[in-house]
Amino acid sequence: MTEIKFQRTGILFVVSAPSGAGKTTLCTALRQKPDFVYSVSCTTRRPRPGEIEGEDYYFLTHENFTEKMKANAFLEYAEVHGNFYGTLKKPVLTQLERGIDVLIDIDTRGAAAIRANQDHIIQDALADVFIMPPDLEELRRRLERRGTENAQELEIRLANAAGEMKCWRDYRYTIISGSMEENIEKFRAIMRAERYRSSRFFLEK
């Protein structure tokens, strides 16, 4: 009797959230286990103390970044506060084609750009997740506890968050943010479900 051998295509997990909703903490925790390849973004800003090339970001000159933009090398990119940020397309596609899952931590604009990408590999692989704070008051409390913004910056972040929270319906999944442990368990439930989808399997030749 011939043994049936299945192979699985890679999944593109795209995670977005307003600032303070727990996205960075969640992604940092997920990176501690070899469940994914974490997609490292490119940026034109200067490295901050302790940041490592190729681990935190790929630090590019404006000229190099512009060249890659013209060559259509980015899956998505955006300008933020005078600096460019972008996700390289080729490494993501290479991993997905090998059946390796990729995790991208990105804002709602970047997620929308990935969602609009017409590459069938990206479309078939995409599993986007929005981390939703319980409400703006809870988000305010979290940002105040963090203590990294002054009063004016805090109000700007909350106003931006209110706009981003309206995008939750654009995502396949929404996690109502709780404790870090709860968020991780909810995400892993999504991860397990996506990995068992029949459409992701094919028979090995």
- 92-129 pLDDT, tens digit each: 999 999 999 999 999 999 999 999 999 999 999 999 99
Question: CA separation (Å) from 108 to 30, 54, 104, 166?
Answer: 20, 23, 12, 10
Which range has the worst mean pLDDT, 58-72, 75-89, 137-151?
137-151
Looking at the domain assignment, is residue 82 inside a domain? no
Domain of 103? Answer: 6-39+99-198
Q: What is the mean pLDDT of the chain?
A: 90
Looking at the domain assignment, is residue 68 inside a domain? no
Long-range contacts of 63-68 (CB under 8 A, 24+ apart): 68/42
* Contact indicator for 85, 42 with CB cutoff of 8 Å: yes
Looking at the domain assignment, is residue 204 inside a domain? no
Looking at the domain assignment, is residue 62 inside a domain? no
More confident residue, 130 or 160: 130
Domain CATH for 11: 3.40.50.300
Looking at the domain assignment, is residue 158 inside a domain? yes
pLDDT tens by residue, 181-203: 999 999 999 999 999 999 999 98
Looking at the domain assignment, is residue 76 inside a domain? no
Q: What is the pLDDT of residue 168?
A: 95
Q: What is the pLDDT of residue 79?
A: 87
Q: What is the pLDDT of residue 2?
A: 67
Amino acid occupying residue 180: M
Looking at the domain assignment, is residue 19 inside a domain? yes
Q: What is the pLDDT of residue 1?
A: 58
Helix/strand/coil percentages in the chain, nearest 5? 45, 25, 35
Q: What is the pLDDT of residue 32?
A: 87
Query: Domain total for the chain?
Result: 1
Q: What is the pLDDT of residue 21?
A: 81
Separation CA 51–CA 46 (nearest Å): 10
Which range has the worst mean pLDDT, 36-40, 103-107, 117-121, 156-160?
156-160
Separation CA 177–CA 93 (nearest Å): 30
Separation CA 180–CA 166 (nearest Å): 23
**Main-chain dihedrals φ then ψ at residue 203, nearest 5 degrees:** -80, 135
Looking at the domain assignment, is residue 88 inside a domain? no
Decide if pLDDT at 69 tops 70: yes
Separation CA 110–CA 127 (nearest Å): 14
